[in-house]
């Protein structure tokens, strides 16, 4: 590895996550040593190609000179969150296979003594990286913790592994001003330079019930001053892990670096909403002169588009100059209990890295697994032009379906039988999916995949679509992941989660779905990546070779599998240095 790395060039990005005090309490709430079912601790449920450290609790990722660097919140002491979190550090040449290094940043100075929380990396004009991260400090003499922003630079920028980071003595570089809530002040973004040459970065904050992205400016990256007005704010409560980046014109899949910020027509502002554990974004216009951002759709801050309607939080993007793309990565929590996590010895994975770009319509982002993931595909199965009749299901024969990549295009011959859409569900796809789960018959749909299913179907997770018809005659397309039957184990979080898919996608009578299955992960991309849903499940029977894949149709209208290809997925390599 070292020789590959030495030859490599890079650029880097990085990431982070923070947990609110609320989240911390939830996780630390001591749970009695209730019996943990052995199925939960089974190595069969440990992911094969989704990134996770060998043990313990993690979240968060970056890229520099030919190497992808993943930084993540990592607790060296156990699979739960506490004040010892450090920045774990792994590197990769391909975003698929990883080598874990020593933690990059650990508590060592007054201003991060009680935790090194999320932050971001910035590649400076001289091609060296800078990390700005939130440190937890404590008021002398009492137990009040507060948040500041610190900077770290590589000790030796010629070391492509960037193993050691130094924290200059002038830290912290940003402390909360007296008018700010110092416990709601975190997760600095990647920095960019404005037309006036000053550097800018954003810090997440809450004022009353308002989530805010504060703007800080600096000429020397040591002294930072807050702009009078936030970049943007909304009455959503705290914004964690803000992410702000330019996108290329609608329909172009190219990514843009933040250095193009002043010229890009459109920007994306993402915030992570604690309490809801949602990552929501708007698309809008950034004025580089005033440092104000205005969403195109003013209701977008409330009627939220989410990167993912399942388990996906504290995500961050980075620009990958090697492939001119922007890559999004989210932290994925477990859906079992903290007790089970303690018994397993690990908790938290990363989603598959996803390329993101602005959809041709300009109203939403599109996400797609980075192409490198396809290098793991083996044992291909193909099914074409097969009709799945009302109430029927068919099995897709695979050697082993517990670790797979499935791409399918469904054809709906006719939408006449679509159920009427009740507009009271307009802003709540999840509620609709809870009323109309995978087993509730319908007109057009529910149809889709049963994944990680036992042969007798006692265990199965449904990833499916259902088509409704609105009063104006337009189709409304719902995409759901129904995990209520995913496991015989009780004591698991088994939700139904859902999002709408822009209905112009079914104009031609076709709907596509791609699902990445990885033992306890089901990561789905509807309509070419317009709506995404990640679920965590813990089957007891449907593991290893006992996990099966089916296509089902519980709607009255027959559905055709136009084309389906399923691959088994090899394990990714993961080594410790």
Q: Which residues bind ligand NAG (CB under 6 A)?
A: 19, 23, 26-27, 139, 142, 144, 156, 158-159, 181, 183-184, 206, 277, 333-338, 378-379, 399-400, 493, 568, 570
| CA separation for the pair 2, 7 (Å, rounded) | 9
Buried b (16+ CB within 10 A) or exposed e, 241-253: bbbbbbbbeeeee
| Of 21 and 384, CB closest to ligand NAG | 21
CB pairs under 8 A, 24+ apart, for 156-159?
Answer: 157/128, 157/129
| Of 334 and 557, CB closest to ligand NAG | 334
The least distance separating ligand NAG from the CB of residue 384, rounded to whole angstroms, comes to: 21
| Of 308 and 334, CB closest to ligand NAG | 334
Number of continuous H segments (helices) and E segments (strands) in the chain: 5, 40
The least distance separating ligand NAG from the CB of residue 338, rounded to whole angstroms, comes to: 5
| Of 340 and 433, CB closest to ligand NAG | 340
Cβ proximity of 104 and 166 under 8 Å: no
| CA separation for the pair 62, 11 (Å, rounded) | 8
| Of 153 and 493, CB closest to ligand NAG | 493
C-alpha triplet 489, 492, 493: angle, nearest 5°:
145
Measured from the Cβ of residue 93, the count of other Cβ atoms closer than 10 Å reads 17
| Of 62 and 404, CB closest to ligand NAG | 404
Cβ proximity of 184 and 203 under 8 Å: no
The least distance separating ligand NAG from the CB of residue 570, rounded to whole angstroms, comes to: 5
The least distance separating ligand NAG from the CB of residue 86, rounded to whole angstroms, comes to: 17
The least distance separating ligand NAG from the CB of residue 96, rounded to whole angstroms, comes to: 15
Instruction: Write the CB contacts of 112 (distance below 8 Å, at least 6 apart in sequence).
Output: 105, 133, 135, 136, 137, 150, 167, 171
The structure tokens listed for 3 are: 């020789």
The least distance separating ligand NAG from the CB of residue 494, rounded to whole angstroms, comes to: 11
Q: What is the DSSP letter of 272?
A: E
| Of 91 and 365, CB closest to ligand NAG | 91
Instruction: Write the CB contacts of 214 (distance below 8 Å, at least 6 apart in sequence).
Output: 180, 202, 203, 204, 205, 226, 227, 230, 231
| Of 144 and 252, CB closest to ligand NAG | 144
| Of 219 and 380, CB closest to ligand NAG | 380
The least distance separating ligand NAG from the CB of residue 81, rounded to whole angstroms, comes to: 7
The least distance separating ligand NAG from the CB of residue 101, rounded to whole angstroms, comes to: 13
- What sections of 9-111 are H helices per DSSP? 21-28, 38-41
The least distance separating ligand NAG from the CB of residue 382, rounded to whole angstroms, comes to: 15
Strands 574-576 and 98-105: parallel
| Of 153 and 556, CB closest to ligand NAG | 153
> What DSSP element (H or E) covers 513?
strand 510-518
The least distance separating ligand NAG from the CB of residue 271, rounded to whole angstroms, comes to: 15
Measured from the Cβ of residue 143, the count of other Cβ atoms closer than 10 Å reads 6
| Of 207 and 217, CB closest to ligand NAG | 207
| Of 72 and 465, CB closest to ligand NAG | 72
The least distance separating ligand NAG from the CB of residue 203, rounded to whole angstroms, comes to: 15
| CA separation for the pair 224, 202 (Å, rounded) | 11
The least distance separating ligand NAG from the CB of residue 275, rounded to whole angstroms, comes to: 10
Nearest Cα neighbor of 488 from 524, 451, 444, 454 is: 454
Reduce the DSSP state of residue 294 to 3 states and report it: strand
| CA separation for the pair 417, 350 (Å, rounded) | 40
């Amino acid at each position: 590895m070292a020789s590959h790395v030495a030859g490599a060039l890079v650029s880097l990005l990085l990431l982070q996550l923070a947990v609110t005090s609320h989240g911390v309490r939830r996780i630390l709430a001591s749970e009695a040593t209730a019996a943990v079912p052995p199925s939960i601790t089974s190595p069969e449920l440990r992911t094969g190609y989704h990134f996770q450290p060998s043990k313990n609790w993690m979240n968060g990722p970056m890229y520099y000179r030919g190497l992808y660097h993943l930084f993540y919140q990592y607790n060296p002491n156990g699979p739960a969150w506490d004040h010892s979190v450090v920045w774990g550090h792994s590197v990769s040449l391909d975003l698929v296979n990883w080598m874990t290094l020593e933690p990059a940043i650990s508590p060592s100075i007054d201003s991060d003594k009680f935790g090194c929380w999320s932050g971001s990396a910035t590649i400076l004009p001289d091609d060296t990286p800078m990390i700005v991260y939130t440190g937890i400090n404590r008021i002398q003499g009492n137990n009040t913790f507060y948040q500041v922003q610190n900077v770290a630079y590589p000790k030796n920028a010629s070391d492509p592994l960037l193993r050691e980071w130094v924290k200059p003595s002038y830290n912290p570089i940003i402390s909360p001003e007296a008018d700010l809530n110092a416990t709601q002040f975190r997760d600095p973004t990647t920095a960019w330079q404005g037309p006036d040459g000053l550097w800018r970065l954003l810090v997440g904050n809450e004022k009353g019930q308002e989530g805010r992205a504060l703007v800080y400016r600096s000429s020397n990256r040591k002294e930072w001053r807050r702009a009078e007005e936030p970049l943007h704010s909304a009455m959503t409560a705290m914004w964690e892990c803000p992410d702000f980046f330019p996108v290329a014109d609608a329909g172009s899949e190219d990514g843009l670096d933040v250095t193009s910020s002043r010229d890009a027509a459109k920007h994306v502002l993402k915030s992570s909403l604690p309490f809801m554990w949602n990552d929501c974004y708007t698309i809008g216009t950034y004025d580089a002169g005033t440092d104000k951002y205005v969403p195109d759709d003013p209701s977008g801050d409330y009627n939220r588009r989410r990167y993912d309607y399942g388990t996906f939080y504290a995500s961050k993007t980075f620009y990958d100059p090697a492939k001119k793309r922007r890559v999004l990565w989210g932290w994925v929590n477990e859906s079992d209990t903290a007790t089970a996590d303690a018994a397993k010895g690990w908790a938290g994975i990363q989603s598959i890295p996803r390329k993101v770009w602005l959809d041709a319509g300009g109203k939403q982002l599109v996400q797609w697994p980075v192409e490198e993931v396809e290098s793991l595909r083996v044992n291909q199965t193909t099914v074409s032009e097969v009709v799945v009749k009302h109430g029927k299901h068919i099995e897709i024969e695979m050697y082993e379906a517990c670790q797979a990549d499935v791409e399918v295009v469904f054809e709906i011959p006719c939408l006449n039988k679509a159920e009427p859409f009740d507009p009271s569900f307009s802003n709540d796809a999840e509620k609709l999916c809870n009323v109309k789960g995978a087993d509730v018959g319908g007109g057009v749909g529910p149809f889709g995949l049963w994944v990680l299913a036992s042969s007798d179907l006692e265990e199965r997770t449904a990833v499916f679509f259902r088509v409704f018809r609105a009063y104006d005659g337009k189709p409304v397309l719902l995409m759901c992941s129904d995990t209520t039957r995913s496991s015989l184990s009780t004591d698991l979080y088994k939700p139904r989660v859902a999002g709408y898919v822009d209905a112009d996608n079914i104009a031609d009578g076709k709907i596509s779905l791609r699902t990445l299955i990885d033992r306890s992960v089901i990561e789905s991309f509807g309509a070419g990546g317009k709506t995404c849903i990640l679920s965590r499940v813990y089957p007891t029977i449907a593991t290893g070779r006992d996990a099966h894949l089916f296509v089902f149709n519980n709607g009255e209208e027959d559905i055709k599998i136009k084309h389906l290809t399923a691959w088994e997925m090899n394990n990714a390599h993961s080594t410790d240095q």
